[in-house]
Structure 1
Amino acid sequence: MKIYGDHQSGNCYKLQLVASFLGITYEWIQLDIKNGDTKTESFLKLNPNGKIPILVLDDGKVLSESNAILNYLAEGSEFLPKDPYLRAKVLQWQFFEQYSHEPYIAVARFIQHYLGIPEERRVEYESKQSGGHKALKVMEIQLEKTPYLIGDFMTIADISLFAYTHVANEGGFDLSQYPKINQWIERIKNQKQFIPMKSIDM
């Protein structure tokens, strides 16, 4: 299988992380979203939405959307519960990640870490802070109750939210005020086969 992605993207890092945890082999196709690699005719044939990551299976079938790919890769593993309620809780956190977390924390990170907060995007950057802290507080409340987001074991819900949470400081979010999140981050980093996000050449 092939994964098309960008090392600078947290959504792509999710797939690298779950593949490492599960020992899945794949070919990585590096794309640079800032250079327009996802807007080429050949890429748009794979994903008309023009976004990464995408997964291309050996038979040519294509999957897009990072959390959908996570669910596919984790099927049958300990990272995706068989119990219907727990599986729904995984999905609950993944929907939370895409609608209440990523639009604030990931976007703020992009504006600060990649663009250096240009003046024309400063208002947008500042507007992301309250939403990002709201999402982090929701996570902190849950992690005060359980070591992982749905209980005592790690799932792809944790992988989904780890990707951008552990680098939230790069978007101006002070994680020191979230002790349970910090403990959770270290818990995941201490897992066997953990791999860090590749550093960015600024």
Structure 2
Amino acid sequence: MYTLYDFLPSGNGYKVRLLLNQLGISYELVEKDIVKGETRTPEFLNLNSNGRIPLLQLENGECLAESNAILMYLAEGTPFLPDEKLLKARVLQWMFFEQYSHEPNIAVVRYWMTHGGPDEEQQRQLPSKMQSGYAALDVMEKQLSQSDFLVGGKYSVADIALYAYTHVAHEGNFDLSGYPAINAWLLRVQSRPNHLLITDRK
């Protein structure tokens, strides 16, 4: 059985739990509170020297880190990842976009807002983070105005990767009211079988 080390409020961890649930894969959940430094202990660093969640421990004891790498591993050979070479590359394109343009802004501001911030330094960074977050949403809106899902018109791990922090963007004071295509997509993702809320353990 897989073991998933996770912090429930994390969108990165949520991606993995959502896919596991939708694939019907059983796993053991081990919660690690990143705020309390529980991923910085020698024991955890021995599993992941980068000291981050999510971390998926495979049945043979090996560990796989980085949320989108875990998604790709789990999705291989399933309907959540296209077989066709270009479509698979487009899934990766959106997942790289999520980590480079979306998560560093939308997820970071959400974390600030839900963990007692922003502090003085974060306040200085906030306008730039908000601007970049909205720019990422604009890119998604353009694509989703042309297609029900991000790649090939079919639900994939690209959608899971970007849904995770988009559906809680309001917790970072991002206003999604001007994004009709994104809002329709959020409802489509939520209506998928075996959907999981971000606060759900399994």
TM-score (norm 1): 0.96
> 1:73-88 maps to which residues of 2 (within 5 A)?
73-88=74-89
Letter in 1 for 2:130: Q
Looking at structure 1, the residues matched to 121 and 129 of structure 2 have their Cα atoms a distance apart, in angstroms, of 15
Letter in 1 for 2:139: V
Q: How many residues align?
A: 199
> 1:100-111 maps to which residues of 2 (within 5 A)?
100-111=101-112
Looking at structure 1, the residues matched to 188 and 115 of structure 2 have their Cα atoms a distance apart, in angstroms, of 28
> 1:113-132 maps to which residues of 2 (within 5 A)?
113-132=114-133
Contact persistence 2:71–2:157 (CA under 8 A):
yes
Deviation at 1:161, TM superposition (A): 0.2
Quick check: which one's helix share is greater? 1
Structure 1 residue runs of 5 or longer lacking an equivalent are none
Structure 2 residue runs of 5 or longer lacking an equivalent are none
Deviation at 1:123, TM superposition (A): 1.3
2:38 pairs with 1:33: no
2:72 pairs with 1:52: no
| SS at structure 1 position matched to 2:30 | strand
Deviation at 1:153, TM superposition (A): 1.1
| SS at structure 2 position matched to 1:33 | coil
Deviation at 1:125, TM superposition (A): 2.4
Match of 2:138 in 1: 137
Contact persistence 2:87–2:152 (CA under 8 A):
no
Match of 1:158 in 2: 159
Contact persistence 1:111–1:125 (CA under 8 A):
no
Deviation at 1:119, TM superposition (A): 3.3
TM-score (norm 2): 0.96
Deviation at 1:163, TM superposition (A): 0.2
| Deviation beyond 4 Å, 4+ runs, structure 1 | none
Match of 1:194 in 2: 195
Looking at structure 2, the residues matched to 85 and 177 of structure 1 have their Cα atoms a distance apart, in angstroms, of 31
Contact persistence 1:3–1:29 (CA under 8 A):
yes
Letter in 1 for 2:179: Y
Contact persistence 1:56–1:63 (CA under 8 A):
yes
Contact persistence 1:108–1:128 (CA under 8 A):
yes
Match of 1:20 in 2: 21
| SS at structure 2 position matched to 1:78 | coil
